[in-house]
Each structure stands twice: as C-alpha cells, then as structure tokens.
Amino acid sequence: MAGRRALKAVLIDLSGTLHIEDSAVPGAQDALNRLRQASLAVKFVTNTTKESKRNLLERLQRLNFDVQEKEIFTSLSAARSLLEQEQHRPLLLVEDSALEDFAGIDMSEPNAVVVGLAPDHFNYQTLNKAFRMILDGAPLIAIHKARYYKRTDGLALGPGPFVTGLEYAADCKATVVGKPEKTFFTQALSDLGCSPSEAIMIGDDVRDDVGGAQNTGMLGILVKTGKYREGDENKIHPPPHLTCNSFPDAVEHILQNLL
C-alpha cells in the first residue's frame, strides 16, 4: 500500500458480482452492509445496457440489496452525457427496456450510431443500416465493448463482437463510454469526492472491471463468479490486486487488510 492514501471508496460491479439475473451471489447482501458499516463510500458501476437504471434498482431491491438510485452509475448515463454534449441524434441499438434512460433525446433523422446490448435488434437489416450511416460519416459510439457476460443459462455474447464487426466493415474506431474507459471511472469517483488512489474496484470482468480500474490508478479485486473463467487473472498486467472466490471474500479482504 506504499504511496496509496487511506481507502475511502469501493466501486462495485453489479451483474456477475452481486447477482446473476434474478439470483443474488450468496452472502452478498450482508457483505455490502458490512462495507457500509465501515464508513466506506459505495458506488455501483455497471455496463449493463439491457435495462434502465430504474429497472436495475428495482431488481436489486427485490433481491434485498440496500441500494439507492443515486449510488448507481451506468454506462447508459455516460452515453447520454456524450450525446447531449455533442448534440448527436442517435440510432440507438439498445433493448427497449433501457430506452427510458434516453427520454428527451432527439432521435429524429439520426446522425450517430450508439450500440449497447440489443439481442432483439442485432439483425442484418438494422446492423446494415448502422453500417451505411457510419460510411456516410456518422460516429460509432459503443456503450461498452464487453466480449460476453453471464446469464443463468450460461455465457452470452456482449455488444463487443457487434461493435467490432461494424468497426471492421466501416474501417473506423468506435468511441467507448463505459468500463474500462478511464473517464468512466473518474466520473464515478468525482461524485464521491475521492481520487483513484483512495478507491478499489470489485468485479468479475478482468479487463473491463479490474484492468480498467487499475489503469485509472485504483486497486482491483477480481471475483470468481459471473463471467469469470479459469486463468482470467493472468490476462492483465499488472495482475489484479487480489483474486478471490466471491464478493463476500473481497469485502473480508478489504476490512481486514486495507483499512
């Protein structure tokens, strides 16, 4: 911990770390309460684009997690901010359940392509429309580029392969707004009033959660739930600060060793 300041904040991934769809990771609710009792600031940071922040909050509360809406920072929020700053009118490839997070954004005559996870919209016709728009000069914005994520029935493709396909076809590079981008992490931390050296990230995605956090100057803990696969901890350099079985173990490590 040399050169680091006292720990003030914990950023926590949601899907795969606290829950998998409608099932909580065993012991996660109690572990979260223990973090709060230690007077650490908590922020939930997620790349989930399958549902709006409101739906996500309702899901977590049904699973008995003590979470407030203002504590959730999503890649959908980051994408909306970018659209407003640049005054883009997006062709939005996200699930219908996530659309409410873009309420009020002008989508007439779109001049930008925004891609999240949208299984119901990833068909040839829609992707070809996006491809032609990009060829005509529309920017390609990826809400994130995760390769895959964990569902109750197994691993499933994320938006990354579809974004990469559009990049390849149109010979362009997407702007990514969610994890692992530094701006995503620093935005989440700025709300808490602390620097990266005062924060730690817990997640199941070695690149987007842990690698992204550590590249921003935070510590990162990789949990072996959700999308974790054997050997993931060897895929980034430097490796995770810690790799452990689950969120409660990560919390135990923080409380015993980092305070």
Domain spans of the chain? 9-47+180-258, 87-176
pLDDT in tens, 149-159: 888 899 999 99
Homologous superfamily (CATH) for 87-176:
HAD superfamily/HAD-like (3.40.50.1000)
Q: How far apart are CA 212 and CA 200, in angstroms?
A: 11
Is the Cα dihedral 204, 206, 207, 210 positive or negative?
positive
Please give the CATH number for the structural domain made up of 9-47+180-258. Answer: 3.40.50.1000
Average pLDDT over residues 104-129: 94
DSSP for 205-245, please give it.
-IIIIIIHHHHHT-EEEEESSTT--TTGGGSSSSPPSEEES
The answer to whether the beta carbons of residues 10 and 194 sit under 8 Å apart is no
Other Cβ atoms less than 10 A from the Cβ of 180: the count is: 24
Residues 32 and 19: beta-carbon distance below 8 Å: no
Distance CA 228, CA 239 (A): 14
Tell me the sheet residues that pair with 79. none
**Distance (Å, whole) CA 58 – CA 147:** 26
Model confidence at 1: pLDDT above 80 = no
193-213: pLDDT as tens digits: 899 999 999 999 999 999 999
Residue 247 · residue 169 · CB < 8 Å:
no
Give the pLDDT confidence score for residue 6 in this predicted structure.
87
**What is this structure's pTM?**
0.86
pLDDT band at residue 13, thresholds of 50, 70 and 90?
very high
pLDDT per residue as tens digits for the range 214-238: 999 999 999 999 999 999 999 999 9
Q: Which two tokens stand for residue 23?
A: 């099932």
| 3-class SS of residue 149 | strand
Helical axes 28-37 vs 247-257, angle rounded to 10°: 20
The answer to whether 24 touches 18, Cβ cutoff 8 Å, is: yes
The answer, yes or no, to whether residue 3 has pLDDT greater than 80, is no
Same fold, 9-47+180-258 and 87-176: yes
